[in-house]
Amino acid sequence: MEILEIAIIGTLASLFMEIVKKQYGPKSLTAKVIVVLVAILLGVGYVYLKGTPLFQTILGILASASTFYAFFLKK
């Protein structure tokens, strides 16, 4: 189950990184710093929230939302 949790968090990080790169440009120092900070925050959040009911709920909602998007909204 832990690999699935890390994959979902990694997917969120990737989506956020794409948004940041579009906003600031892929070679921007600001974009690189923001991406690194977000990765660190997500890692810290994962370590502290893993195993709690809140974390399981968040992952369930994110997994459901991404599945719904993939099957029904993405064209």
Model pLDDT for residues 30-59, shown as the tens digit of each residue: 888 888 888 888 888 888 888 788 888 887
Segment 65-70 shows an average pLDDT of 77
CA dihedral 10, 15, 18, 24 (to 10 degrees): -100
The model carries a pTM of 0.60
Q: What pLDDT, on a 0 to 100 scale, did the predictor assign at position 75?
A: 65
Model pLDDT for residues 3-36, shown as the tens digit of each residue: 777 777 777 777 887 888 888 887 788 888 888 8
- Token duo for residue 29: 């120092």
Does the pLDDT of residue 1 top 70, yes or no?
no
With helix as H, strand as E and coil as C, how does the chain read?
CHHHHHHHHHHHHHHHHHHHHHHHCCCCHHHHHHHHHHHHHHHHHHHHHCCCHHHHHHHHHHHHHHHHHHHHHCC
